[in-house]
Amino acid sequence: MDDLQQIIHSFSENKQKEFRQFIQRNRFKTSRIDLDLFNLFAKDKEYAKGEVLVALYGADKQDRNAYHSVRKRLVKHLNDFIYLLQIDNDESLASEISKNLILVRHLFNNNLNKLAWKQLNKSENLADRAELNQQLQSIYELQIEHYDNNFVEGSLKELVRKRKLTAELAQEDQNLKIIGSFVKQELEKVKIEAQDLDLERILDLLLNTFDMKDSLFRRPKLRYNFVLIARGIILANKEFYSFEEYVIRNYNKIADSGYFDTRPSNRLNILYIVSHTLYRNKKFDEAILYLEKMQEYLSQVGKGIFNRFNVKCRMLLAACENLRGNVHKSIEILEVMNPAKFLLKEHEFNAQLNLSIYYFQIEEYKKANQQLIKMGRTDNWFEKNMGVEWRIKKNMIDVIYQYELGRTEIALDRIVSIERIHKDLLQTDKYKRISVFLGLVKRVIKNPLIVDTEEFLNRVEASFDWVEIEQEDLQAVSYYAWLKSKMTKDSFYMTLLELMQAN
């Protein structure tokens, strides 16, 4: 796909509508080739360059120079639009200070020194309280450059000392970002390539390399960022049980420090992480309590931060309600969500997949299958954009749907396809349960009567390396619940709820 077309496809439908209004803000033009190009690239189709020229200018007037000028003009409009969106949506203190420093430089350049120092000192107080060390460096550099003892408490030497200390703190911030980047690189191997990695060992090695361990405990900002890195490892290794106490303790410590007072998006983010951890540990009532806290803070933030977190909050609430026995409430939550509010494709497809599962749980199998088909992307697209694990999960759900719809031959073909495409992957420790599950489903398809036998029950029980139910992975329990429902002749949803309440 054309690079420019990829940028346009990163916009939601709602943002595409806003851009069309933006590009026509100067209405003196009756015809806009740049808008025509935008509309062309907004379509879900890949074009050869010749096709684009014909679509814009007709078969007889293919002007390549004009086309390149139009592309440049459209890119400029897109840059301006994205910049204004960022300004509008970024309500962070860092953004406010950065904008303020632009004003300060303007004031100094025009010899309005008293006003400049007033704004500069105000920015220093805000940045210092919020540990914004990159901004503080810029502030101290401006204070040193325009030093005037009429406006500064302390000597020039003191300012230089503060600038040096801030630079050291900023370097610590940067070191943790570098560590996070290394860990993220390794996590991509887990997500996309499904490699087995000792992520905890890698993280410990990086912390020692950058001499970061002491800094994590004395600075709330670094503590918060480290929680995010650790959580990435937990998502890859599925060890939510061991993460729960750690993340709640750190949330409380960071909150007590006042760090979140100037960072509403960080507070919402860690509240979501706590809620999701409790959900994965099957503590649904507790998870909802934290989601209610999240909703309380959502009512106090601006549009940009609200849109970023509200969708995630609603989706997790639906998931919690589902496993509390309120599947119809879960369906209602997802059905009324506006697709235009999804800022990320990841959230949109997760919501669609979850809604499909909820339909399945109330035994509306055709509706569940239609919802799956409605996603309209290829398996390769899902693997590239959502990860190999997500693709396998969707394909396994498809197998179960085909079985319940009585299409057992299709279900069997789907299993054979999964086993062929992911042959090496299914032999790893991380994915061996999936291989076991698919093998059991194949046995049921080939010999339906086997589910009534004690032999099959014993085989199922012996096939998995189970841990205590409260520590067992949520998705693993769900697949087991479906198999068990076939053996007990109970509904899948009721079997699932019984297993969830067993802890």
- pLDDT at residue 192, as a whole number: 45
Q: Quick check: helix, strand or coil at residue 343?
A: coil
Contact 199, 206 (CB under 8 A): no
What is the average per-residue pLDDT within 80-88? 69
Output phi, psi for 74, to 5 deg.
-65, -40
- pLDDT at residue 460, as a whole number: 81
Residue 41 pLDDT > 80, yes or no? Answer: yes
Structure tokens, 273: 């992480």
Structure tokens, 111: 């010899």
Domain range list for the chain: 3-89, 241-321, 381-503
pTM over 0.85: no
Q: Quick check: helix, strand or coil at residue 29?
A: coil
Q: Answer left, alpha or beta for residue 427, where phi above 0 means left and psi between -120 and 50 means alpha.
A: alpha
What is the average per-residue pLDDT within 214-243? 75
Average model confidence (pLDDT) for the chain?
83
What would the pLDDT profile of 115-144 be if each residue is shown by its tens digit? Answer: 999 999 999 988 887 778 888 999 999 999
DSSP one-letter code for 142: H
